[in-house]
Amino acid sequence: MSGRPPFRSESPGPRGNAGPSARWLAFLAIQSFAQRGSFVSKALDDLFTEFPTLPRDRHLATELASETVRRGLTLDSILAQYVTRPREKVEDELWMLLQLGACQLICLSHIPAHAAVHETVSLCDRLYKPRAKGFINGTLRSIERELNHQTTSDNQPLELKDLGPDLLPIFAIRGNAAGLRIVKLARRVFADPKELPLDYIAQVASLPVWLLQHWAKEETDLNRLLARALWFTTPGKMSLRVNLQRTTREAVLDLLRDADVAAQPGQLPVAIALNGSLAPGEFPAFHDGGFSVQDESAIAAVALLDPQPGESILDLCAAPGGKTCHIAERLQGTGRVIACDLSNTRLRPIRENITRLQLSNIDTLLISEEGRGLPDGPFDAALVDVPCSNTGVLGKRPEARWRITPATFADLIPLQRRLLNDALDRVKSGGRVLYSTCSIDRSENEDLVNEVITARNDVQLKTAQRHEPGSPGDGGYQALLLKS
């Protein structure tokens, strides 16, 4: 990240009465991430609060900022071949403009090329750098001239042997299926996929090469590794969890059809799979507690825990509360859920969801980082959804791939081990503990669970499930442990 001061302290806001454009807001969010490591969603939320923004502009700004950060390495690899001066000779703000423009041309084919170039070039005025317009325009026009968009079948397998260093495969969600679009450039921009396959995958999927090397120790089929990496270039498929205490899945599906939102039943009884996206706040049924937005792999965690009416259940790392509320719904208004987390800031969204979903059987509890304040129990069951590397949700969280390091796993595992043991210590004999991550790394999942079971003589593994990214949703892992 740059050591420069925050951008907005040194550059202009909106001029006159004109509100900021979606591309300007996207640029500010990209820069907030680059300079301060901000989460894209948080930066945008702050901007939307400061500047009243139409829903369509919010959607565009979110798409532009998220995709540009998510595809950063891909865009840098391409720009390096089209920019006529060394990277160190290009000011950071102008490089970010080039990333934003190139992202629209290459990755977002629904945006007209003339709009992508013209609107991006116009941001030079916002930066008080009008003399840079020719440079930005010339670079983006060169890329536009040399692009050739091709399509492939949704079901056509992609193999490294069929690719070249001038080809960019883009894994896109079309309807309820994942399909590939191939972009051909007129010059070599990536590593040779036959000679340096991991470098090629890193560049076209925009992932750290060290992470691919790490995955390759377990996944030796490079074509499968490519498919996984490309899946993470998308935000994934959106799904809903129906609150069966308030409505039925069929009723929510009818509401969606009436709103022209394509959807169908998900793999689990409370799940609905969407063919695109929606703004849940536009539906009265959302505010009335009829449904929540939640990935199917997260829904599967509570399904595996299988809460029963009347049970007392500890949720050890509850924020933001999706699984907490799902447990409470499964209890059908009986029993009790104790939802714990480290700050009132983290507990706030849980309390908001409790109110929206009209749940009366959840108590929130503030605890310390060392676990002080945890109730003794014993509980019938516990959920421990531990902090993890997020390697199963790298597409949904665009900046996550750039925040993790090789040391991340070693730093997290002692905490994960302690939390799992804390949960096991607080369930009764015969009780259940569901260990859950949104990671696909064995060290945080199977290896850690086996280590804890080996170190104790009162625990056994009943079942475990690993969610591979894209099948159908986020990646992750869940293990159900029984205390004997």
Domain ranges of the chain: 7-145, 149-231, 235-293, 304-483
What average pLDDT does range 140-162 have in this prediction?
81
Q: Average model confidence (pLDDT) for the chain?
A: 91
Instruction: Quote the CA–CA distance of 379 and 434 in Å, as a whole number.
Output: 13
Determine contact, residues 267/242, Cβ cutoff 8 Å.
no
Tell me the CA distances in angstroms from 349 to 3, 250, 426, 453, one per residue in order.
Answer: 33, 27, 25, 33
CA 146/CA 15 separation, integer angstroms: 35
Range of weakest confidence among 15-19, 133-137, 383-387, 412-416? 15-19
- CATH architecture of the domain with range 7-145: Orthogonal Bundle (1.10)
Both tokens of 115, joined, read: 């709009």
Residue 178 above 90 pLDDT? no
Using the predicted structure, report yes or no on whether residue 17 has a pLDDT greater than 70.
Answer: no
Task: State the pLDDT confidence band at 177, using cuts at 50, 70 and 90.
Answer: low
Q: What is the DSSP string of 361-419?
A: SEEEEE--TT-TT-----EEEEEEE-----TT-TTTSTTHHHH--TTHHHHHHHHHHHH
In tens, the pLDDT along 326-354 reads 999 999 999 999 999 999 999 999 999 99
Which CATH fold topology does 304-483 show?
Answer: Rossmann fold (3.40.50)
The per-residue pLDDT for range 367-409, each reduced to its tens digit, is 988 888 899 989 999 999 999 999 999 998 999 999 999 999 9
Q: What is the model's pLDDT at position 5?
A: 31
246-290 pLDDT, tens digit per residue, is 999 999 999 999 999 999 999 999 999 998 888 898 899 999 999
pLDDT of residue 157: 72
pLDDT for 154 equals 55
pLDDT of residue 236: 82
CA 240/CA 266 separation, integer angstroms: 9
* The one catalytic residue among 103, 124, 388, 438: 438
288 or 2, greater pLDDT? 288
CB burial readout 346-383, b (16+ within 10 A) else e: bbeebeebbebbebebbebeebeeeeeebeebbbbbbb
Q: In a 3-state reduction of DSSP, which class is residue 66?
A: helix
3-state secondary structure string, 331-374? CCCCCEEEEEECCHHHHHHHHHHHHHHCCCCEEEEECCCCCCCC
Give 281-284's long-range contacts (Cβ < 8 A, gap of 24+): 283/255, 283/259
The DSSP call for residue 301 is H
Using alpha carbons, list the distances in angstroms from residue 30 to 92, 97, 460.
Answer: 11, 10, 46
Classify strands 312-315 and 379-385 as parallel, antiparallel or unpaired: parallel
Cβ(481)–Cβ(453) below 8 Å: yes
Q: Return binding residues.
A: 317-323, 341, 385
> Is a pLDDT exceeding 70 seen at residue 1?
no
CATH class of 235-293: alpha beta
Annotated binding site for S-adenosyl-L-methionine: 317-323, 341, 385
Omega before 378 within 30 of 0, i.e. cis: yes
As a whole number of angstroms, the distance between CA 175 and CA 276 comes to 6
Task: Express each pLDDT in 25-56 by its tens digit.
Answer: 999 999 999 999 999 999 999 999 999 899 89
Q: Which stretch of DSSP H or E encloses residue 478?
A: strand 476-483
Inform me whether the pLDDT recorded for 16 exceeds 70. Answer: no
Q: What residues contact residue 65 under an 8 Å CB cut-off, 6+ apart?
A: 25, 26, 27, 29, 30, 40, 43, 44, 398
pTM of the model: 0.89
| Residue the block writes with tokens 């509360």 | 321
Q: Active site includes 438? A: yes
Q: How far out from the chain centre does Cα 155 lie? A: 24
Q: Please state which of the ranges 85-94, 228-237, 333-342 shows the lowest mean pLDDT.
A: 228-237
**Lowest pLDDT segment from 13-17, 132-136, 154-158, 363-367:** 13-17
The whole-angstrom separation of Cα 259 and Cα 160 is 41
**What's the confidence (pLDDT) of residue 174?**
55
Both tokens of residue 119?
């609107």
pLDDT at 473: 83
